[in-house]
Amino acid sequence: MNNKCENCGKCCLETEMILSFEDIELIKKNSIDNIGEGDFVFKNDNDQFQLQNIEGHCVFLNYSANKCKIYEFRPQGCRFYPLIYDIDKKKCLLDDDCPRKDQFYNTKQSLKITCSNLKKFLEQQFTLKIDQS
């Protein structure tokens, strides 16, 4: 399976995906539907941009096919997934909600590199203070 996420879509249900300005611009630039920001983004209670859900799933999920409509230019957080950063535990984790998490980051080195990239992304895009050790 080239796309480990193919025909799954579990992470797209009730998503709370935070979006950077770059994510928003990339989606608007590449969308064939000429969608506007208001069609897929809202500001959450923390004043962050977040992907909208419709009927319990990400606005970009083709629910019947379990496929992302914007997979090639999906948000950076979706690209890192199932790797997430737990702010309370101050570490990267593989999300237990992902049924295929064991198919990602098969070496400690790839996990370590991606975790470092995730931390840098969060610090740069969302001005979060994250321990880089």
For the chain, strand residue ranges (E) read 41-43, 49-51, 53-54, 57-58, 61-62, 67-68, 83-86, 91-94
The pLDDT tens digits of the residues spanning 101-127 come to 998 988 999 999 999 999 999 988 877
Does residue 132 form part of some domain? no
Q: Is 88 helix (H, G, I), strand (E, B) or coil?
A: coil
Please state the domain count of the chain: 2
Torsion sign (Cα): 111, 102, 17, 72? positive
| Six-digit token string for 90 | 């101050």
Does residue 2 form part of some domain? no
According to the model, what pLDDT value does residue 130 have? Answer: 67
* Model confidence at 32: pLDDT above 70: yes
Same domain, residue pair 34 and 52: yes
Give the mean model confidence (pLDDT) for residues 78-104: 92
According to the model, what pLDDT value does residue 4 have? Answer: 78
Point out the domain boundary residue: 74, 93, 112: 74
Point out the domain boundary residue: 56, 74, 92: 74
Name 43's bridge partners: 49
20 to each of 15, 102, 127, 130, how far by Cα in Å? 15, 27, 11, 17
For 18-86, strand residue ranges (E) read 41-43, 49-51, 53-54, 57-58, 61-62, 67-68, 83-86
pTM: 0.86
Exposed (0-12), middle (13-18) or buried (19+): which is 69, by Cβ within 10 Å? middle
Domain that holds residue 115: 83-125
